[in-house]
Amino acid sequence: MTRRALLAALPMAAQTAPAQRIDSVRAWVMPLLGTGRFGTAKFTSDHDPNRSRWFGPFSQLAGSILVEIKTTGGLVGYGLGGGGSAAVHVIETHLRDLLLRADPANIELLWEQMYSSSIFYGRKGLAIQAISGIDLALWDLAGKAANKPVYQLLGGATKDKVRVYLTSKNVQFGLDKGIRAFKLPIDSSPSEGRAGMKKAIEPIEAARKAIGPDAELMIDVLCRWNVGYTIEMAERLAPARLLFIEEPLNPDDMAGYAELCARVQTTRIASGEHEYTRYGFENLIARKAAHILQPDITWSGGLSELRKIAALASARQLPLIPHRGGSVYGLHFILATAHCDLAESFGVGEPGNDIMQAMSPRFAAGYLYANDKPGFGVDITEALIGKHAVPR
């Protein structure tokens, strides 16, 4: 058989060029929002309650990181992660060793290797947030290699647009933008007693009146309450018809969440923003400790893990509403996931920088729309990186 005939007989996959290899891995601290929105490092005494609410530079969007992976074939993938400079250190001193010279198409294999090799200090928090950024950069590369948007790699879109819910106290802004679902951040705590309850209830009632009876309304407590306080607040807020109460308790209080899910009848309990990997969510589900799951694709393990978390949720018929699902990364996941149809706002009405805007999909009249660019469709340049990366 001639060489030409042999090549013609081979499957097309066998005729392609040799697999690309990972040539470089870089990561930067890239805050999308300032640390000031999460408290202050100025304390009046050892007993100042601000001490417990100062979340520092590694948490939330103040601790965002950008991961860049380049291949020998000239492709570049970008992923968003968390954990600030601590996560960047993990990537540069450990995880990068597992990536350089590896085949970037082996996304699942690389995820398992990164997870297993960091298990003695990882499993939750910073290490998983670092892995999340890497995993998303690898999926971005996969889309670019296939010349397809990521949601098409996941089986295609299950919907053509995704409804947004706005996290903000300014509901009028959302109404003006055509948004019909709202979540209010709540500042009250049990230490304030019933006066604090009243302070929290008044703006919630005002918001319900402003948005009307048919719009969705939710609240985010950011782990400030306890079981008894949450139960009483849920009863008092029954007329407001909340879709859910988000993270009322410490994320590690699984028993407390299970009690709330069993006892609260007027609304649902949402949790998972600060949970990690399929293992953490499997525990959350098994203990019946959440009515609604809220994994963050940039923190809880990346797209590879969210697919597994979604499978767990689907099997138990639990709604999945990703935290910050309105980023381009979250949107591709939501588009491809049938039982996921609501995206939390990301960049809509926020004082984020132009890196945040680059990671924000098109928004119009209350909905988000994906573009058809290869990968996640994130347009990052060296100029943007140089402008916003925190100096080392």
Q: Is 280:124 a contact under the CB 8 Å cutoff?
A: yes
DSSP string, 229-268: HHHHHHHHTGGG--SEEE--S-TT-HHHHHHHHHH--SSE
Amino acid identity, residue 186? I
In sequence order, what are the residues at sequence separation of 6 or more whose Cβ sits closer than 8 angstroms to the Cβ of residue 156?
336
Amino acid identity, residue 229? Y
Distance in angstroms between the alpha carbons of the first and the last residue of the chain: 59
Helix (H, G, I), strand (E, B) or coil at 291: coil
Amino acid identity, residue 41? A
Counting Cβ atoms within 10 Å, is residue 33 exposed (0-12), middle (13-18) or buried (19+)?
middle
Amino acid identity, residue 201? I
Q: Is 291 a catalytic residue?
A: no
> Alpha helix locations (H) across 36-149?
84-90, 96-99, 107-117, 126-146
Q: Is 124:276 a contact under the CB 8 Å cutoff?
A: yes
Q: Is 79:107 a contact under the CB 8 Å cutoff?
A: no
Q: Check 274, 291, 323, 332 and give the catalytic one.
A: 323
Provide the annotated active-site residues.
Answer: 323
